[in-house]
Amino acid sequence: MKHIVVRWQRGVPVYAVPLLTPFFLYLCCMGAYSVIFSIYREVTGLGRVTGMNDIYAWGIWKTFNTMVLTGLGSGGFAIGIAAWIFYRRELHAVMRTAVLTSLVAYWSGLIALGIDVGRPWNFYQVLMPWRYNGHSPLLEVCICMPVYATFPLFLENTPPLLERWFYTWPSFRPILVNRIFPIIRATYPYVIALAYALPLLHQSSLGALMLLGGARVHTLWQTPFLPLLYVWAAGFLGFSCVIGVLMVSCLAWKRPMDMSILTILARIMAWLIVAWDGFRFLEIVARGQTAAAFAFDRFSLLFWLETLLVAVPAVYILSHRYGLKPSRLFGADVMIAVGGMLYRVDPTTFAFVARPGAVYFPSGIEAIIAVGYVCLAIAAFIVAVKYLPILPAPMSSWRNLENYAHVVHGIEMREA
């Protein structure tokens, strides 16, 4: 098995596996807990439920669920830019997985953001542009992010669903073929352009948020280039998330792994990291903060932890052009994901000292809500890949699926 060359050619649903597994039920339970606790938060106020205070006014719902999850969910645009704009055709095989991880991650983050804001009923003002403060990075985030998740990202995810309907809903097929598919073909380039422009804008604005924090953000993180570093980190974090999701899915559902595509993804990610880390070092030296990096206090150790977690695996990936072992790649990918997540979370938490002595630690309910919505995102992903042709597989799996679907569901997969 190991020596057979696998090529991912086509999105194929995960078939012949039951949906209701113990793990899936566990995810649903965690999701249910977080929904119940969210309702509890809405009726009791933030102070009773969370560990936030006036000094640390932003808790994990913003620093983790929004900053980190949308970073992890950046695969849709990061890999998309490589596949569509720089025209790496081979990456089209993983695009459906990438946009699906983006969709679930973004919505999970946005729900947490909706629970985090204290006066959500005033949010209708997003429809009133004359009330916008165009200079606020947070305005950019809270307009751009829901717009992206609702329109371009959602539209990017419709082809697998329509494809399922094409096969399972014969009476709908003429409308699909004659009306809907031509519209998609005509509008797709514009949707894609928007789907890459918007994340570039709001992922950089997420970094710009902390510019106003000034000296509260430690000097190793606080730089005028924070927006650039943030969107860049979102780029490689998105790659690492999609690589991880693909590998875990292949292991969990015993699907063949295409190491050639994974290596391409890993190498692009590694180059992004090398450039990112290089720029970050140069920037720190240029600002004259080299001493802070070698102070070996809490912050400098955190900085080196981040740097090593992303740089060491990146160098490892780049030095193994051929024959990268799946286990090694997975280990490297997890390290990069952890390092990237740490970078995204640090300017608002570990490297954010608003007042000496003040502390923030998330409460139990706060943490359950944060984790619960991540579980819901994973559950949504599992449902989607089991019903829709999303995860990439060799052409032979599709042929097998044809027979399987015909036997089990009586669905004719061949062309009408």
Partner 1 sequence: MDLTRREALEALVAKCAPVATAALALPAADAEEIEAGPKAPVGMLYDATLCIGCKACVVACAEANDLPPDVTLDGLHQAPEDLNAFTKNIIKLYKPTEQSQDSFVKLQCMHCLDPACVAACPFHSLWKNQNDGVVAWEPSRCIGCRYCEIACPYHVPKFEWERINPKIVKCELCKPRLAKGYEPACTSVCPTHAVIFGPREDLLAAGKKRIAESPDKYFENRVYGEHDAGGTQVLYLSHVPFEEIGLPTLGNAPIPARLKWQKRVYKFFAIPLLLCGILTGVMRRNWKDHEKEMREEEERTGLRPQL
Under rule CB under 8 A, which residues in 139-158 are in contact with partner 1?
Answer: 139-140, 142
The nearer residue to partner 1, 138 or 301, going by C-beta atoms, is 138
Check binding of 189 to partner 1 (CB under 8 A). yes
**Among 69, 99, 68, 100, CA closest to 84:** 99
Residue span binding partner 1 (CB under 8 A) among the ranges 46-54, 230-238, 309-317, 379-387: 46-54
Q: Rule CB under 8 A: is residue 23 a binding residue for partner 1?
A: no
**Which of 65, 56, 34 is closest to 345 using CA atoms?**
65
* Whether the Cβ atoms of residue 363 and residue 256 lie closer than 8 Å to each other: no
Judge residue 405's burial from the number of C-beta atoms within 10 Å of its C-beta, 0-12 exposed, 13-18 middle, 19 or more buried: middle
Q: What are the residues whose beta carbons fall under 8 Å from the beta carbon of 401, sequence distance 6 or more?
A: 12, 13, 15, 413
Restricted to residues 120-139, the positions that interact with partner 1 (CB under 8 A) are: 120, 122-123, 125, 131-139
Contact 405, 387 (CB under 8 A): no
CB of 412 to partner 1, least distance (A): 13
Distance (Å, whole) CA 46 – CA 117: 9
**Nearest approach, Cβ of residue 346 and partner 1 (Å):** 15
Q: What is the DSSP letter of 408?
A: H
Reading the block at residue 61, the tokens are 């719902």
- Residue 213 as a binder of partner 1 (CB under 8 A): the answer is yes
Q: Does 403 interact with partner 1 (rule: CB under 8 A)?
A: no
DSSP class per residue in 244-306: HHHHHHHHHTT----HHHHHHHHHHHHHHHHHHHHHHHHHHHHTT-HHHHTS-SHHHHHHHHH
Q: Which of 13-21, 47-55, 246-254, 309-317 is the region at the interface with partner 1 (rule: CB under 8 A)?
A: 47-55
Minimum CB separation of residue 194 from partner 1 in Å reads: 7
| Residue 416: CB minimum distance to partner 1, A | 10
- Min dist. Cβ of residue 23 to partner 1 (A): 28
Q: Is 225 strand, coil or helix?
A: coil
- Choose, by CB under 8 A, the member of 28, 161, 180, 211 that binds partner 1: 211
Q: Contacts with partner 1: how many residues (CB under 8 A)?
A: 74
Give, as ranges, the residues between 220 and 239 that touch partner 1 (CB under 8 A): 224, 227
Per CB under 8 A, contacts with partner 1 among 370-399 are 389, 395, 398
CB of 328 to partner 1, least distance (A): 30
* CB-nearer residue toward partner 1: 347 or 372: 347
Burial 198-227 (b: 16+ CB within 10 A, else e): bbbbbbbbbbbbbeebeebbbbbbbbeebb
> Using CB under 8 A, which of the segments 26-34, 43-51, 281-289, 306-314 binds partner 1?
43-51
Binding residues among 242-301 for partner 1 as defined by CB under 8 A: none
Give first-to-last CA distance, the chain, whole Å.
35
46 lies in the site for partner 1, by CB under 8 A: yes
User: Of 300-359, which residues contact partner 1 (CB under 8 A)?
Assistant: 354-355
Cβ of residue 314: shortest distance to partner 1, in angstroms?
27
Q: Is 324 left (phi over 0), alpha (psi -120 to 50) or beta?
A: beta
The site map against partner 1 for 76-95 (x = CB under 8 A) is --------xx-x-x--x---
Nearest to partner 1 of 55, 274 (CB atom)? 55
Choice from 180, 184, 293, 312 touching partner 1 (CB under 8 A): 184
User: Which of 15-23, 116-124, 308-316, 364-372 is the region at the interface with partner 1 (rule: CB under 8 A)?
Assistant: 116-124
How far is 341 from 102, CA to CA, in rounded Å? 15
Spatial distance between the Cα atoms of 51 and 364, rounded to a whole number of angstroms:
9
The CB density around residue 76, as the number of other CB atoms within 10 Å, is 30
Binding residues among 163-182 for partner 1 as defined by CB under 8 A: 163, 166
